[in-house]
Amino acid sequence: MQPRTQRQKEILDYIKCFIERHGYDPSYAQIARHFGLNSKATIAKHVGALERRGLLARERGDGLFNLNVQAEETTAAEEIYDIPLLGRIAAGAPVDAIANTDTISIPRFLLGRVRPQSVYALRVVGDSMIDEHICDGDIALIENRTEAQNGEIVVAMLEGGRVTLKRLFRFNSEIELRPANSQLAPFRVPANQVAVQGIFRGLLRPAT
């Protein structure tokens, strides 16, 4: 059985992706924030609809709701795609790009509306994005795009071919590359010295 509306499908896909990335279920507040909504009641309504369709189960434990995604027949969202693993990306000081020709298999739902053909993967080095739960050794899923909105996490190529994973903000003729680590400071460079190589879209954490 499928979600009845597009928003229900988006919420179900987000919950699956969140669990895959973090290993635990998102709260109603986190789901609402992701979709730019102010009302947790709206999320509860959609979750209730998914529950009635047998796609989610809610269990109360320790005073909290746990959202458990139910098994269902394979759909297009659960198809597996092989995408290129092109090398490594610094979540720390920029590092020289290292090319490689490996591939990695990922479930379709991790990419949301992004076409798998426009996605590549990079292995994360360092901990400058740890507050976004992007850790050393993780696999970052990147949409191949050269334009970014303020605040997006991007693959930024600097002079000399060095690359880094940071949030991007524009300030007139400069670009600030901002880490997600309270121990590290952002840095600014002239805008003409930064080339956006892609937008962060998801994460895989290899089993240890």
One of 16, 128, 173, 182 is an active-site residue; which one?
128
Total length of the chain: 208
One of 9, 27, 105, 166 is an active-site residue; which one?
166
208: which 2 tokens? Answer: 């240890």
Q: Is 16 a catalytic residue?
A: no
Q: Where are the beta strands (DSSP E) in 45-194?
A: 56-61, 64-69, 80-90, 95-96, 99-107, 119-125, 139-143, 153-157, 162-171, 174-178, 187-190
Q: Is 105 a catalytic residue?
A: no
154: which 2 tokens? Answer: 């991007």
Angle at 142 between CA 76 and CA 33, to 5 degrees: 75
Residues with catalytic function? 128, 166
